[in-house]
Amino acid sequence: MNFSPAKWRRHFPLLAAHHELHYLDNAATGQTCAAALNAATAFDTQSRANVLRGTYRLAEQADAAYENARRQAAAYLNAAGSEEVVFTAGTTASINLVAHAFGEGLHAGDEVVLSLAEHHSNFVPWQMLRERRGVVLRLLPLTADGRIDLSRLGETLTPRCKLAAVTHASNVTGAVTGLAPIVAAARAVGARVLIDGAQAVQHGPVDVAALGADFYAFSGHKAFGPTGVGVLWGRGEALAALPPFLGGGGMIGRVTVEETTYAPPPRRFEAGTPPIAQAIGLGAALDWLRAQPWADMNAHTARLAQRLIDGLAVLRGLTFLGPRDLKERLPIVSFNLEGIHPHDACQVLDEYGVAVRGGHHCAQPLMDFFGVQGAVRASIAPYNDDADIDALLAGLQDAVRKLK
Ligand code: PLP
């Protein structure tokens, strides 16, 4: 294998400065890469001006950098063009944008299909839409190990479906969704498809052309970029069919006292001053990531996940949430130790310099499905190594000794 996690780690200033830290909370946020930090700082120190408004040279430089970031995001997603990339505040904002703009055209009785594995970001906006428009939410069920059960697709996604909104990969189990049948079933009834890509983007470039969906949402901070920025990709024709969500400067064609016409996408959906430096930082992160050896990096993180799963198997009272086999699965491992609250386990782990998350992971319907209140979650990125996994396992053994 031609990949060195130690070398990769050097691209992440926080990790380079904290040798003792075993950061395994990457599903919550990835660390920011130097490419993103440098690009955002270069904007603020060399070409900061508002975008899409000024005619002086500095403003033109800012425009060019912002639009370049749009192209970089489009390239990471294999989008047909940069006009398909809307900068938002993150996955949550992207999904809410679609829930409002697309939801505007829905009527009582229209159906929206979700799965039981969704993050609250892809649940609550649709429940709110149900309150506003009377749409019906239908849930794709899960197999016992927490994968979306595609054998029940036909009975869930019916001709009344107008939109299917599903996660690309679960932030709890790491299970990657079999999207092709969902997209095909939605297409067959003329429904749109939104994919929540929050977790998937951290594990390599995405091919929205191959996925065949209409919308793809993700956050910059999960893709080793800045916080406060994200993307809503929309197929050109799908975005063009949406009314605006937020109104304000930058999204208009012409405003008169009587009425307003709107700019075409993507600007129609970027009311107000966008997160300019953050978008530029995200573009740089994605550009850097696109050139990385993903096959080797994913083999590396899968090997670490296997090391973790093997190490966990010997602990008494352990239950996994999600599939144990590493096929079609991201290196996200959630589990419980009988009689130990996830928060208590995390506190002991912190003493070992291990940063992992314990709780419901903003996926309470999924926790209910598993019959638990929460879980400990370790999520692995390419900069992690054997020492991170071994520290986690040592800390857990200590937690079992102390807390049981
Ligand atoms: N969807 C999934 C699958 C996630 O894991 C997350 C964050 O953890 C989100 C959506 C929400 O992302 P953000 O809080 O960046 O908007």
Residue with tokens 């159906």: 111
Give the model's pLDDT for residue 325. Answer: 82
Contacts of 234 (CB under 8 A, 6+ apart): 84, 86, 214, 215, 216, 242, 265
Q: Cα(23) to centroid of ligand 1, in Å?
A: 18
Out of 33, 161, 346, 362, the active site residue is 362
d(CA 72, CA 90): 17
- Identify the domain boundary among 290, 322, 354: 290
Ligand 1 center to 238 CA (angstroms): 23
Angle subtended at Cα 241 by Cα 236 and Cα 244, rounded to the nearest 5 degrees? 105
Residue 216 φ/ψ region, left for φ over 0, alpha for ψ in the -120 to 50 degree band, beta for the rest: beta
Average pLDDT over residues 97-120: 98
Q: Does 210 share its domain with 95? A: yes
Cβ–ligand 1 distance for 173 under 6 Å, the answer no
Pairwise CA distance, residues 23 & 358, whole Å: 14
Across the chain, how many H-helices and E-strands are there?
A: 15, 15
Could you tell me the two tokens for 140? 């794709």
404 has a pLDDT exceeding 80: no
Say whether both 396 and 283 belong to one domain. no
Q: Which of 262, 290, 318 is the last residue of a domain?
A: 290
* 275 and 337 within one domain: no
Ligand 1 within 6 A of CB of 96: no
Domain boundary among 255, 290, 325: 290
Residue 1: which pLDDT band, with cuts at 50, 70 and 90? Answer: low
Instruction: Indicate the average pLDDT of the chain.
Output: 96
pLDDT at 324 over 90: no
Helix, strand or coil, per DSSP, at residue 378: strand
pTM higher than 0.85? yes
Per-residue pLDDT of 29-67, as tens digits, reads 999 999 999 999 999 999 999 998 889 999 999 999 999
- Whether residue 240 sits in one domain with residue 122: yes
φ/ψ of 61, rounded to 5, equals -65, -40
Residues 286, 299, single domain; the answer is: no
Compute, in angstroms, the gap from residue 311 CA to the centroid of ligand 1: 28
In the predicted model, what is the mean pLDDT of residues 301-307? 97
Which domain does 305 fall in, by range?
5-31+293-403
3-state SS record for 324-347: CCCCCECCEEEEEECCECHHHHHH
- The confidence score (pLDDT) of residue 282 equals 98
- State in Å: Cα 26 to ligand 1 middle: 12
Q: Is the CB of 90 under 6 A from ligand 1?
A: yes
Alpha-carbon distance of 353 to 348, in angstroms, equals: 9
On whether both 220 and 331 belong to a single domain, the answer is no
Return the ligand 1 atom nearest residue 28 CA.
8
Query: CA 22, CA 389: separation in Å to the nearest integer?
Result: 8
pLDDT tens readout for residues 205-248:
999 999 999 999 999 999 999 999 999 999 999 999 999 999 99
For ligand 1, atom 4, which residue shows the shortest CA distance? 198
Residue tagged 């691209």 (tokens): 11
Backbone CA torsion sign across 239, 242, 248, 250: positive
Query: 357-392: per-residue pLDDT in tens?
Result: 999 999 999 999 999 999 999 999 999 999 999 999
* Whether the Cβ atoms of residue 227 and residue 14 lie closer than 8 Å to each other: no
The reply to whether 113 and 235 lie within a common domain is: yes
Same domain, yes or no, for 324 and 251? no
Supply 87's token pair: 């900068």
**152 pLDDT tier (thresholds 50, 70, 90):** confident
pLDDT over threshold 70, residue 102: yes
Indicate if 308 and 167 belong to the same structural domain: no
Residues 346 and 315 in one domain: yes
Question: Taking a C-beta distance cutoff of 8 angstroms, is the pair 350, 97 a contact?
Answer: no
For the chain, what is the domain count?
2
Let me know if 33 is a catalytic residue: no
Q: How confident is the model at residue 399 (pLDDT cuts 50, 70, 90)?
A: very high
